[in-house]
Chains A and B, each alone.
Chain A
Amino acid sequence: MSSLRRFVDKIKPPFEKGGKLYIFHAGFEAIETFLFVPNRTTQGRVHIRDANDMKRTLILVMIAMVPALLFGIWNTGFQHFLALGVEAGFWQMVWFGFLKVLPLFIVSYAVGLGIEIAFAQMRKEEVAEGFFVSGMLIPMVMPADVPLWMVAVATVFAVVIGKEVFGGTGMNILNPALVARAFLFFAYPGQMSGEKVWIAGLTDGTGVVDGFSGSTILGQAAQNTTTFVNGLGETYSSWDMFLGTIPGSIGETSTLAILIGAVILILTGVGSWKVIVSVFAGGLTMGLLLNAFAVNEFMALPFWEHMILGGFAFGAVFMATDPVTAAQTERGKWIYGFLIGLLAILIRVLNPAYPEGVMMAILLMNVFAPLIDHYVVEGNIRRRLKRAKVTAN
């Protein structure tokens, strides 16, 4: 056995039941199981278990988010230097972005995992891995210039109210990361929308090019224009929107990077392809409908362009697919995803106060997912009853 294992075994006793450090056992176990898959063996009549577990599944979700995150880090630097009007090299942008994003991660994980471990300790359960993913999602849906204390407050709210009050991972109704985002959106609307927050350094304002606007494309679209420009007044092409060289929340801008993540999720079977496909299908359908009845420029925006704008793709791939808050039946997933797409674009276009309709749509459908499942399951129950009646006759 490795020396690390011997070391863990050596320091373990005080953390076990009755030991002096028992109050920290949840934290100790979390670290131990992070290092080692435990030696527990099967009991009962089923003697073998699949090698897959929750840690591995959720790690794969995190890996799938890495491309979007890396792009987001670069883009944070890119947008910043664009606003300053400074020529910067690739690594300079990455380094700036890294320094900007890293504190968000530290705050999100420190606060979130702290609460998780405390609750696990209280409930005498193992620490669930759910927050690995939420903790990564939260910074990625934040604008680059968000104050750190807001991230902390939002994380506390998301973990406690969004998750723990329902019983922890697996029991929550709403996606915790979206709860965090929605909390900030409604609690601090002044800071969380407008033109400043999306680009690092803009709120502060030092050194920014005169007249530079940091508004997002959706912010501009809500003003009923379909020629979108960057802060310097240069027009964005659809290609820019697809690649993601536009202002927006850290992880959401690059549709390409998100699609790479989608491919990882679908190939490994971790994310439901049904949800992803149906969200896009719903979005395209609503886009087409709005095009058909267009009375203003935003409604006339080509339906497919909605897919590469704002948080639509990010929401479809990483938020809507959260298995806990999505519909759980296969048929339900189609309905759930389709309605998210439909509502996201509807809210986005018809309600200028909420340009980020995806967040609203997913939260709303999170609430309705159990109802969708209920009707799907009812169908099964009815089939069974009908079968019983046929035999009885």
Chain B
Amino acid sequence: MTEVIKIKKGLDIHMNGEAEKIYVKAPRAKTYAVKPVNWHGLTPKIIPKLCDPVKVGTPIFYDKYHPEVKFTSPVSGILLSINRGDRRRIIEVTVEDDGKDTSETFLQGEPATLTREQIVENLLESGLWPMIRQRPYGVIARSGQVPKSIFISAFDTSPLAPDFDFVLKDLEEDFQWGVNALKRLTRGKVHLNLDGRYPSVRTLSSIEGVEINRFKGPHPAGNVGVQIHHLDPINKGELVWVVQPQDVVTIGRLFKTGKYDPSVVVALTGSRVEKPVYFKTIRGAAVAPLLEGQLKPGESRVISGNVLDGSRIDAEKGHVGFLDSQLTVIPEGNYYELFGWILPGFKKASFARSFASTWLTPHKKFDMDTNYHGGKRTFVMSGEYEKVVPMDIFPVHLIKSILVNDIDKMEQLGIYEVVEEDLALCEYICTSKIPVTKILRDGLSALRKEMED
């Protein structure tokens, strides 16, 4: 299919600190971590004891309620620590690297020759299954279920997002293996969605066995939720699985080599980075070696992910998220601004047309910080959210139905079709500074509890 689907609504946020297209081999970190908090609704159970030796691919914890879903170590070494947060919730499980990369072996073979059960089993055993997430809810897919289709968004329109065309260059073969495996998991199609903004030769346009679709438009055109909405929308009771492009490569390598290859490319971005580049590193790497000598002075926030959907991590002790291909470092915005609400605003980024910058320098890139720019209010303005959600959904009404905990209304208004990243722009532009994505997650959790209990 060569037709390009045009997305009209949305917003590209222009920020400083895009990664230059250079690969830097990341220095080997001392510790690597897998963070249970990267997946919603996951209750981890730790398998080895502290200081037990582990190899690449050795399970280090599993999902208490779905014990078949295992999470494995990305490096060989010893299980170093289990770090807990509030209410003793396990935040991360770290492994001390011995640098030897001794690896567990898994089933190897062309997926077409394997049964579906063998493929599922291999993904579960190797710890790659958690790369497959389901919509609705945005949680880890259930191995016993069959989705109506699988979606891969091969481009990211988020602020400062890595260019997957660059990242996946020369990895087409591994990607094809990954697609071949995923194809066996669904009765329907595997959709591979490419960026329609650059119609020239694209790295992945030669991939076979998939339905290739092109999307063109501002963020969130690259969000897989938006793409699903336009191609194969989720109705009540339906399941769609989504996989990220680098994860498809890792899955492909598993079947090609019989080993878990945890290598991954992470773009280091943001206005507080001296030289934003692409790092070749290993999943779950400690960020300290990546950031060494790279941080500009001043109080900064390190985010695993992008500014619209990412988790804050510690610059010294933090680790890159398992599913993240991007690190963003931006200034903290804990300052006061005198009469900020009335100044013309030449240096302010805003979607609203009430700042001088919106009129004079619409494409200027900004050093955006984490300031709230105002106080939380009730819903006052209308029609704002609709401008940045390219779906047939009423976001404000959906959010209000969650606030009053009306399960029926949530379903009717399309909660199954969205996760946080799809409504992140609403939270960004909201005049009333309403925590949209948190409310949405609360709604999704409530609904999931209702449905699955």
Contact with B along A355-393 (1 / 0, CB 8 A): 000000000000000000100010011011101100110
Contact, CB under 8 Å: A387 / B235: yes
The minimal Cβ–Cβ distance linking A391 to chain B, given in whole angstroms, is 6
Interface string of B332-348 (1 = CB under 8 A from A): 11111111111001001
Interface: B386 (CB within 8 A): yes
Q: Chain B residues near A272: list those with CB within 8 A.
A: 382-383
With both chains docked as a complex, state the minimum distance between the C-beta of B284 and any C-beta of chain A, in angstroms.
Answer: 19
Q: Roughly how many angstroms separate A381 CA and B406 CA in the complex, as a whole number?
A: 14
The stretch from B163-171, B209-217, B366-374, B444-452 touching chain A is B366-374
Least CB distance, A4 to chain B, in whole angstroms: 7
Which of A14-71 touch B at CB < 8 Å? 33, 35-42, 44-57, 59-60
Residues in B with CB closer than 8 Å to A54 are 374-375, 377, 380, 431-432
Q: Do residues B13 and A57 form an inter-chain contact, with CB atoms below 8 A?
A: no
| Bound-state Cα–Cα, A115 to B352, Å | 30
Task: Name the one of B312, B350, B378, B438 contacting A128, with C-beta atoms under 8 angstroms.
Answer: B378
Q: Does A328 reach chain B (CB closer than 8 Å)? A: yes
The reply to whether A51 and B350 contact each other, CB–CB distance below 8 Å, is yes
Q: State whether the Cβ of A5 lies closer than 8 Å to any Cβ in chain B.
A: yes
Write the B397-437 contact mask toward A (1 if CB under 8 angstroms, else 0).
Answer: 10000000000000011100000100010011111110111
Give Cα A307–Cα B349 distance, bound, in whole angstroms: 38
Task: Report the stretch among A138-146, A168-176, A233-241 that lies at the interface.
Answer: A168-176
Please state if A170 and B378 are interface contacts (CB–CB under 8 Å). Answer: yes
Whether the Cβ atoms of A126 and B375 lie closer than 8 Å is yes
Contact A48 to B308, CB < 8 A, known contacts A130-B380, A171-B378: yes
Tell me the complex Cα distance, A377–B392, Å: 11
Flag the segment in A99-107, A188-196, A262-270 that touches B.
Answer: A262-270
Number of A residues near B (Cβ < 8 Å) is 62
Contact call B233/A387, Cβ cutoff below 8 A: yes
| A170 to B375 Cα, complex, angstroms | 14
Q: How many residues belonging to B are interface residues under a CB distance threshold of 8 Å?
A: 75
Given A42-B370, A45-B310, A48-B428: A5 in contact with B394 (beta carbons within 8 A)? no
A-B contact count (CB 8 A): 210
A323 within 8 A of B: yes
**Interface membership of B106, Cβ < 8 A:** no
Judged by DSSP, the binding face of B is: loop
Q: How far is the CA of A16 from the CA of B355 in the complex (A)?
A: 33
28 contacts between A and B (CB under 8 A): A4-B338, A5-B338, A37-B340, A38-B336, A39-B333, A40-B371, A42-B370, A45-B437, A46-B436, A48-B159, A48-B370, A49-B371, A49-B428, A50-B428, A52-B355, A56-B341, A59-B341, A126-B376, A128-B377, A128-B378, A170-B378, A170-B432, A269-B354, A272-B382, A380-B392, A380-B394, A384-B414, A392-B235
Q: Which residues of B are interface residues toward A (Cβ below 8 A)?
A: 13, 159, 233, 235-236, 238, 301, 303, 305, 307-312, 328, 330, 332-342, 345, 348-355, 368-383, 386, 392-394, 396-397, 412-414, 420, 424, 427-433, 435-438
Q: CB-nearest residue of chain A relative to B334? A: A39
A305 interface residue (CB < 8 Å to B): no
Bound-complex Cα distance A381 to B312 (A): 36
Q: Select one of B307, B352, B386 contacting A52, CB under 8 A.
A: B352
Q: Which residues of A contact B430 (CB under 8 A)?
A: 49-50
Q: Does any Cβ of B come within 8 Å of A324's Cβ?
A: yes
Please tell me if A206 contacts chain B, counting CB pairs below 8 Å: no
Alpha-carbon distance A287/B339, docked complex (angstroms): 46
